[in-house]
Amino acid sequence: MKTISNTRIVVVGNGMVGYKFCEKLLSRKKDGQDFTITVFGEEPRAAYDRVHLSEFFAGKTADDLSMAGAEWYAENGIRLFLSDPVVDIDRDEKLVRSHHGHIVYYDYLVMATGSGAFVPSIPGVEKDGVFVYRTIEDLELIQAYARKARRGAVLGGGLLGLEAAKALLDLGLEEAHVVEFAPRLMPRQIDDAGSRMLQSQLESLGLQIHLNKSTQEIKGDDRIEGMQFADNSFLDVDMLVISAGIRPRDEVAKIAGLETHPRGGIVVNNQLQTSDPSIFAIGECALAHHMIYGLIAPGYEMADVVATMLTGGEKEFLPYDMSTKLKLIGTDVASFGDPFVEEPACRTIRYENKAKGIYKRINVSTDGKTLLGGILVGEAEQYNMLLQTCKNKTILPPDSEDLILGSRGGEEAGAGVMSLPDDALICSCEAVTKGMICHEVGENGHHTVYALKKCCKAGTGCGGCIPMVKDLIAGVMKEKGVYVRNVVCEHFDYSRQELLDLVKMNGLRTYGAVLDHHGKGDGCEVCKPLVSSILASLWNENILEKDRAVAQDSNDRYLANIQKGGTYSVVPRIPGGEITPEKLIVIGQVAQKYNLYTKITGGQRIDLFGAHLGDLPDIWEELIDAGFESGHAYGKSLRTVKSCVGSTWCRFGVQDSVSFAIEVEDRYKGLRSPHKLKSAVSGCVRECAEAQSKDFGIIATDKGWNLFVCGNGGAKPQHAQLLAGDVDKETCIRLIDRFLMFYIKTADPLTRTATWLNKMEGGMNYLKAVVVDDVLGIAQELERDMQNLIDVYKCEWREVVESPELRKRFTHFVNTPIKDPSITFAEMRDQKRATEWV
């Protein structure tokens, strides 16, 4: 394709594909090529991730979903007009005119207008309370209306419709219905049996599914009150979300006289040119190979085809594989290749497990040699492998059912990801092949997912390929003879567990000694905190004495949490969340005196923010005088043991949870571990202390206590599991001793107990066998080691306050007593806050 020195390109539409086109064009631009790019978008915000739109209801903000901010366009010299759709194209003059009257000339025009929601012409669709599910604005409207609604329905049982239905439940509606015209859910992706399995999974979550329903009218005066169906049934609802498919946005193309299809879509050839060769169409507005590609990966591929051609390359858009895998409301659903081909054109193998909600189907060629397609519901771990096997026409093993059932005896079915050909597409969003990834790993030394994302963009789109990318990294490393050991860093050729044993055996007590005996080089920010944590877990000596202060991570170094701006926050220990009025007054007085922002934490404590480094010892001196101790909020250590008020006050409580929480917190305070430890004690089964979200949680029963372990909140919440039931206090404590010590000795660095358990071979059964049944015969040793740590516990802040030597390190400057003059605060709700960083 001809390129001239300065090519004027106008992009009509700023959705995901329009954005991707700009990105690809910039990255493919060669020296000497110069583009003036102008983008018009109809929506008020720059392109955002519509694929993950539902996450808006799960707390993601418009910013989180954004593909690139306005500054990205500015930095790259792209003129971006938002809330300003193109309304007219003059193909003779080669110019576009926008809603706001901007006129821009083009050499090439790229239509990326996407699609809108298809709204069927049912009487009553215009009523209040009827919505579509397409943009952030739509979601905001739905969110607002849902506050006063009780029963909601979604019209359409496809992928987006089901997500919308889940969103209605999440928004607090009492009933959420799905109404589908076809006899099954997701009719384009799965078959009847798969739909039945999916339906039972969704119903167990509270969705009500209505199939074979043709909606005749939407009833109600001004606002929707119900849906009337052709079979004379009626559904009482007060809001409706329409998700009945998409309609390509081809209005402007029509006005401009471009060829469009009667049922929608701008007709394009294999080069994605419309009937006017200077005008391209990409994404969901384009009709290529007689179809609309309503997925993101082919949209990105189209963007790449046009970007390649406009920068002088050659590329065609070929019929694109429409295989998909998604997690729908917690249920995996996938289909690939030809999912619907029937016997005798193939051999079909089906597996169904109603108890577990799993349905799998594969279609194998009649000669049994290749995979034609398939469907996975409820469990889709094998999706990537199956898809590649299907696409690359890999010869199947003789027992092809092993592909979905796993091999029963003998080795894993299939030869794994390393057996794929080099041109197998691993990341379909960014068109990265196995060969490209292996090259980056093997030749260019990119050994992490992060590095690969940076160098070849693999895994930056939907992220579905990341497990395969990880397998490829491990595979290439193994092929190169690199034994992938989980070593600490370049300075220690040991795993954390090995190093802990060595340090213990040799009785080493400083970082320098450990580095001299077992390491090389000068250490770093990875091994220093790790060794410091091991030393504290083994000997429990003051972490700032000897050479240990400079080997501590940011927070441990000054026994406080570093915050924006360089000030620190202070958290005194308040065991079990119980505090006297006198102590509350002291906290208030200290906060007033040192001008600190105060906030109640999630762990039933009080956090004091904005303390200058130099003030920390004085603050603690006053707190300690009032009977407080360090809360270790800064350490990878026991934080807090939350409690509910229990049987002393609560009319439901069956045990004294506060007393037990205080006893547990006092026992393990100061205990340092591979990661932070949180705990809670609840006084009855109502579980107000949320003990099942903790590393170890205790719940009262009328016979004793249930001990749960390995839960956490955070980014990936996980419920704790029962380790022992109805045990008395002493047994409970003994089991916690063993459990914590076993975790401390065997976990990888910075691994919470939940992740530790997830990686443990044998899982919960093995953990029980070790901790409760003592199959390894180490229980006594674990208990003894724990007791030793408890016996030597001292409040580390008291030691600092009382030691002039340690105290003198708590200054910002070494040559003047003044405080850091660069620290500033802002005001908010009658307190101070950190100044926002730039």
Partner 1 sequence: METITDTINAVTWHMACNVDDIPEDGGGCAFIGGRQIAIYNFTRRGEWYATDNQCPHRQQMALSRGMIGSQAEEPKVACPFHKKTFSLQTGQCLNDDEYRINTFPVMVKENRVYIGL
Asked if 528 is part of the footprint of partner 1 (rule: CB under 8 A), the reply reads: yes
Q: Are strands 207-210 and 175-179 parallel, antiparallel or unpaired?
A: parallel
Among 529, 575, 576, 670, binds partner 1 (CB under 8 A): 529
Q: Pick from 525, 728, 781, 802 the residue near partner 1 by CB under 8 A.
A: 525
Q: Which two tokens stand for residue 228?
A: 């009337």
Smallest distance from partner 1 to CB 121, Å: 55
Spatial CB neighbours of 357, under 8 Å, sequence gap ≥ 6: 197, 200, 201, 331, 377, 378
Q: Based on the shown chain and the rule CB under 8 A, indicate whether residue 612 belongs to the binding site for partner 1.
A: no
Extract the tokens encoding 383: 């999706």
Interface with partner 1 includes 447 (CB under 8 A)?
no
Rounded to a whole number of angstroms, the minimum distance from the CB of residue 302 to partner 1 is: 32
Binding segment toward partner 1, per CB under 8 A, in 48-56, 373-381, 480-488, 546-554: 546-554
- 176/163 Cα distance (integer angstroms): 11
Residue 485: CB atoms within 10 A of its CB come to 9
From 446, 491, 636, 678, residue interacting with partner 1 (rule: CB under 8 A):
491
φ and ψ of 253, to 5 deg = -60, -40
Q: Does 157 bind partner 1 (CB under 8 A)?
A: no
If binding is defined by CB under 8 A, does position 565 make contact with partner 1?
yes
Binding of residue 715 to partner 1 (CB under 8 A): no
On whether the CB atoms of residues 266 and 258 are closer than 8 A, the answer is yes
Residue 815 engages partner 1 in binding (rule: CB under 8 A): yes
Among 822, 824, 827, 829, binds partner 1 (CB under 8 A): 822
- Kindly give, in sequence order, each residue whose CB lies less than 8 Å from that of residue 764, ignoring residues fewer than 6 positions away: 710, 721, 723, 757
The DSSP string of 150-188 is: SEEEEE--SHHHHHHHHHHHHTT-SEEEEE-SSSSSSTT
For partner 1, the closer of residues 135 and 532 by Cβ is: 532
From 22-30, 394-402, 407-415, 524-532, span contacting partner 1 (CB under 8 A): 524-532
Q: Are strands 597-600 and 606-611 parallel, antiparallel or unpaired?
A: antiparallel
387's tokens: 């898809």
3-state SS class at 241: strand
Q: Report which of 253, 240, 174 is spatially closest to residue 207, judged by C-alpha positions.
A: 174
Dist. CA 308–CA 310, nearest whole Å? 6
Rank residues 491 and 639 by Cβ distance to partner 1 and give the closer one. 491
Segment near partner 1 (CB under 8 A); pick from 31-39, 99-107, 257-265, 522-530: 522-530
The site for partner 1, by CB under 8 A, has a size of 36
Q: Is 809 near partner 1 (CB under 8 A)?
A: yes
Among 200, 354, 813, 828, binds partner 1 (CB under 8 A): 813
Task: Determine if 512 is a binding residue for partner 1 (CB under 8 A).
Answer: yes
Residue 803: Cβ-neighbour burial (10 angstroms; 0-12, 13-18, 19+): middle
* Separation of CA 105 from chain center: 43
Region of 97-105, 226-234, 378-386, 549-557 interacting with partner 1 (CB under 8 A): 549-557
Choose between 493 and 820: whose C-beta lies nearer to partner 1.
820
Q: How far apart are CA 364 and CA 370, in angstroms?
A: 6
DSSP conformation letters of 490-522: TTB-S-HHHHHHHHHHHT--SHHHHHHHH--TT
Nearest to 381 by CA among 321, 323, 434, 325: 325
Token pair in block for residue 110? 């790229």
Residue 608 in contact with residue 598, Cβ under 8 Å? yes
Range in contact with partner 1 (rule: CB under 8 A) among 254-262, 314-322, 734-742, 806-814: 806-814
Sole binder of partner 1 in the list 316, 423, 490, 728 (CB under 8 A) = 490
Shortest Å distance, C-beta 764 to partner 1: 34
Q: Where are the beta strands (DSSP E) in 50-188?
A: 79-81, 86-90, 95-98, 103-105, 108-111, 115-117, 130-132, 151-155, 175-179
Q: Does position 804 bind partner 1 by CB under 8 A?
A: no
**558 near partner 1 (CB under 8 A):** yes
Please state the closest distance from residue 772 (CB atom) to partner 1, in A: 39
Q: Distance between CA 384 and CA 467 in Å, rounded?
A: 9
Distances (CA, A) of 748 to 285, 357, 486, 776: 50, 34, 9, 20
Q: Which of 470, 598, 820, 825 binds partner 1 (CB under 8 A)?
A: 820
Is 554 one of the binding residues for partner 1 (CB under 8 A)? yes
Which x/- pattern over 451-480 shows residues binding partner 1 (rule: CB under 8 A)? Answer: ------------------------------
Based on the shown chain and the rule CB under 8 A, indicate whether residue 765 belongs to the binding site for partner 1: no
Should residue 547 be labelled a site residue for partner 1 when binding is judged by CB under 8 A? yes
Q: Is position 71 an interface residue for partner 1 (rule: CB under 8 A)? A: no
Site track 204-243 with partner 1 (rule: CB under 8 A), x = hit:
----------------------------------------
Q: Choose the binding region for partner 1 from 44-52, 225-233, 438-446, 552-560 (rule: CB under 8 A).
A: 552-560
The verdict on 121 binding partner 1 (CB under 8 A) reads no
Is residue 837 a contact point for partner 1 (CB under 8 A)?
Answer: yes
Q: Does 644 bind partner 1 (CB under 8 A)?
A: no
In angstroms, the Cα distances linking 4 to 9, 27, 108 are 12, 18, 11
The residues binding partner 1 (CB under 8 A) are 490-491, 512, 521-525, 527-529, 547, 549-554, 557-558, 562, 564-566, 809, 812-816, 818, 820, 822-823, 837-838
